[in-house]
């Protein structure tokens, strides 16, 4: 079958296996060029099939020569339907890791459930040298979560709190700007978003692993967050997602207390805004990212997922510094280049001036679109997308 991108809103329903493999290969090559000494050797990545989670797994394996276990929930190909991009990404990673002689185990299942947690614990005991891990990356991003105790399913929403919010947004497929109004979240929607995107499941993972004795002395665990500029506060920091991230930070304190007897610590890493399927669904954010990308590319400070995660491992977590460099709230700030004050002033001016007549002058919509398609294995040089793909 000749595989082409099929779009449904901000979702691409197809993925290209060769393109996904090439995307992973390029990230691996970058990681290989950045070896890190004194880094972890036995790493669990919860949410390892795309984005920051995949980049962490690649960095751990190919910067640090670490054995890894990855957890994800992806769909294999069926009939004429392609597998998900994350499934192809994971397959490509596993092949390259095994060729490099690295232990590589994967669990494809609901990471929110107890079954996946118990399977991971079994793999750590049976497969990992010493039966323990020394680093745990938590990078889950899902619209729904089933409570492992009650069975209730919670759904997250991306909404402001306290009042409607109106601002510019862009259709990154067409490049057309428009005004969007987002109605405020109800109390139950806020609570459900916290249940899905907060830190409860991260804490449950650490409790289960700690109880099973599979966490090494002085281990670190990291979960990801985003703050962003005041421009996006109503739909992010001060909205439903922001409430979930507040819960994530509170749970990080509880996890640090839980791990303190073995010298372990939990960190929140605040990352740069990047093109993901999740961020593409948030009104206002694609336009902000497009303006950000244009300016950061001009300044030579733009980073993709793998570059940012390699920098996090190399310059923050495993830089040989004691303690790990953090901000006043104890967070690792990987958004430092994005939030540089003079850059944010330029973004604010561009935001005020951009319109449908001058979009190309102020925003890198083409770069945004290219990055989005690459998430699904499309648009990579060296891949013939007109060739019939067999056994996909």
**In the block, which residue shows the tokens 């947004």?**
169
Could you give the CA distance from residue 369 to residue 12 in angstroms, rounded to a whole number? Answer: 12
What phi and psi values does residue 204 have, to the nearest 5 degrees?
-65, -40
Could you give the CA distance from residue 89 to residue 54 in angstroms, rounded to a whole number? Answer: 8
236 is catalytic: yes
Could you give the CA distance from residue 387 to residue 364 in angstroms, rounded to a whole number? Answer: 30
Q: Which of 294, 317, 380, 387 is nearest to 19 (CA)?
A: 380
SS3 for 95-113 is HHHHHCCCCEEEEECCCCC
**In the block, which residue shows the tokens 């990801």?**
224
Could you give the CA distance from residue 277 to residue 297 in angstroms, rounded to a whole number? Answer: 21
Q: Within the chain, where are the H helices?
A: 17-32, 51-64, 85-99, 114-127, 187-197, 200-212, 240-259, 277-280, 285-299, 305-312, 341-353, 359-362, 365-374
**Sequence-separated (6 or more) residues with CB below 8 Å from residue 320:** 37, 38
Residue from 52, 236, 288, 362 carrying the catalytic annotation:
236
Could you give the CA distance from residue 328 to residue 331 in angstroms, rounded to a whole number? Answer: 7
User: What distances in angstroms separate CA 384 from CA 1, 27, 29, 80, 90, one per listed residue?
Assistant: 13, 20, 21, 19, 21
Classify residue 287 as exposed, middle or buried by CB count within 10 Å of its CB (0-12, 13-18, 19+). Answer: buried
Active site residues: 236
């Amino acid at each position: 079958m000749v595989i082409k991108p099929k779009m449904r809103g901000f979702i691409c329903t197809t993925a290209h296996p060769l393109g996904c493999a090439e995307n992973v290969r390029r990230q691996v090559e970058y990681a290989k060029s950045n070896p890190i000494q004194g880094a972890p050797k036995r790493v669990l990545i919860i949410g390892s099939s795309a984005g920051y989670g995949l980049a962490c797994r690649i960095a751990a394996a190919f910067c640090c020569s670490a054995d890894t276990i990855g957890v994800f929930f992806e769909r294999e190909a069926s009939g004429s339907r392609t597998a998900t991009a994350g499934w192809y990404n994971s397959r490509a990673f596993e092949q390259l890791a095994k060729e490099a002689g690295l232990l590589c185990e994967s669990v494809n299942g609901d990471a929110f459930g107890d079954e996946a947690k118990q399977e991971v614990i079994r793999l750590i005991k049976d497969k990992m040298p010493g039966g323990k891990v020394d680093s745990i990356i938590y990078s889950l991003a899902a619209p729904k979560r089933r409570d492992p105790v009650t069975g209730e399913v919670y759904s997250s929403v991306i909404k402001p709190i306290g009042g409607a919010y109106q601002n510019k947004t862009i259709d990154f497929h067409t490049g057309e700007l428009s005004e969007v109004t987002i109605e405020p979240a109800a109390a139950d929607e806020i609570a459900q978003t916290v249940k899905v995107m907060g830190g409860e499941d991260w804490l449950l993972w650490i409790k289960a692993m700690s109880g099973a004795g599979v966490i090494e002395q002085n281990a670190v665990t990291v979960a990801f967050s985003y703050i962003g500029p005041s421009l996006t506060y109503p739909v992010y920091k001060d909205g439903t997602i922001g409430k979930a991230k507040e819960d994530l930070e509170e749970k990080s304190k509880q996890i640090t207390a839980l791990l303190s007897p073995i010298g372990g610590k939990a960190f929140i890493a605040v990352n740069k805004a990047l093109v993901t399927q999740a961020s593409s669904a948030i009104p206002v954010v694609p336009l902000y990212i497009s303006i950000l990308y244009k300016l950061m590319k001009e300044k030579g400070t733009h980073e993709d997922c793998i570059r940012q995660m390699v920098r996090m491992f190399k310059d923050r977590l495993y830089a040989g510094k004691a303690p790990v460099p953090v901000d006043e709230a104890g967070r690792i700030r990987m958004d430092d280049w994005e939030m540089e004050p003079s850059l944010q002033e330029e973004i604010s001016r561009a935001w005020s001036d951009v319109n449908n007549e001058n979009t190309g002058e102020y925003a890198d919509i083409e770069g945004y679109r290219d990055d989005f398609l690459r998430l699904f294995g499309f648009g990579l040089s060296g891949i013939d997308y007109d060739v019939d793909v067999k056994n996909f």
